[in-house]
Amino acid sequence: MYFTKSFCTFIVSALMATSAVGELTQVPRRAAAGVVTREEANAIRSMTREQKMQKRADDCLSAIENQKLRAREDKTIGIDDWNSGKGQDTLKTTGLATCYGVVITGSYEGDNDGDDRYMSHALEAERGPAEELFDAVEGARDNGLGNLWALLVFPDPKSFTDDDGWTDDDRKDIQAEHDWYIEWITDATGGVAPEEKSHDYKESWGIKVNSGKGVQSGRFVT
């Protein structure tokens, strides 16, 4: 009898402990995507006809907005060109050897919206694409674009060596082009000096801005 009573007491205690643990560790069940939970269904049942119509309209608008957020455009910038994007858009350019690559990104505050990533790829002394980019960034700043960041990828003047046939005058020209970009990027961004990445002009570099505005640059970007 003692054994039976003790065993029963053990079983009851174990069940109580299991129940207590179950209550502590229980996680509410989450519905899979597109599945209406019991709570949501009950809430819908309690709505008036007009409220249900409004909910259906809201659901439709929400689906449209989500589709817009998922949509993106992958843009490739060629030589002597520039482009911009927003949302999930990506920007990419390759073949930067003696050319100059510029990236400017930012974000909007409040209800303002617009392009928030910019890229140009220009030959030496062909400043048109960069100037158009700078004008676009200044216009976006007027519309609320802030938190700006910039990148300049350029050929290292020191890589134009005497052994390859270049002179001090050539290196001065390359340095002057670099200095022009630094000045104008800083001006277009309202005082943000760009991050600078130089490379041997015999190397071909690329730049990519991903959908989250993360920026990659280097020989590995193709």
In this structure, are 119 and 51 located in the same domain? no
In this structure, are 104 and 200 located in the same domain? yes
Final residue before a domain boundary, out of 71, 93, 123: 71
Final residue before a domain boundary, out of 71, 95, 126: 71
Domain membership flag for residue 41:
yes
Contacts of 70 (CB under 8 A, 6+ apart): 88
Instruction: List the single range of 25-29, 34-38, 208-212 with lowest mean pLDDT.
Output: 25-29
In this structure, are 82 and 107 located in the same domain? yes
Domain membership flag for residue 89:
yes
Task: Report the chain's terminal Cα–Cα distance, integer Å.
Answer: 81
Length of the chain: 222
In this structure, are 204 and 106 located in the same domain? yes
In this structure, are 100 and 207 located in the same domain? yes
Domain membership flag for residue 20:
no
What is the arithmetic mean of pLDDT over 176-193?
98
Final residue before a domain boundary, out of 17, 42, 71: 71
In this structure, are 65 and 121 located in the same domain? no
Domain membership flag for residue 6:
no
In this structure, are 172 and 141 located in the same domain? yes
pTM, two decimal places: 0.70
Domain count, the chain: 2
Domain membership flag for residue 194:
yes
Q: Which percentage of the chain shows pLDDT scores above 90?
A: 64
Question: Rounded CA gap, 176 and 125, in Å?
Answer: 10
Of the candidates 79, 109, 82, 72, which has an alpha carbon nearest to the alpha carbon of residue 96? 79
What is the arithmetic mean of pLDDT over 31-60?
76
Domain membership flag for residue 15:
no
Above 80 in pLDDT, residue 69?
no
In this structure, are 42 and 140 located in the same domain? no
In this structure, are 132 and 177 located in the same domain? yes
The beta-carbon contacts of 22-31 under 8 Å, at least 24 apart in sequence, are none
In this structure, are 81 and 60 located in the same domain? no
What is the arithmetic mean of pLDDT over 70-85?
89
The CATH number of whichever domain residue 191 belongs to comes to: 3.30.1330.200
- Residue 84: pLDDT band (50, 70, 90) is very high
Domain membership flag for residue 138:
yes
Q: Which two tokens stand for residue 177?
A: 């082009």
In this structure, are 97 and 38 located in the same domain? no
Contacts of 207 (CB under 8 A, 6+ apart): 91, 92, 93, 96, 101, 103, 119, 151, 153, 215, 216, 217, 221
Q: Which domain holds residue 135?
A: 74-218
Above 90 in pLDDT, residue 61?
no
Strand order in 195-199's β-sheet?
A: 81-85, 117-122, 100-108, 145-155, 195-199
In this structure, are 134 and 61 located in the same domain? no
Domain membership flag for residue 24:
no
Question: Rounded CA gap, 143 and 135, in Å?
Answer: 13
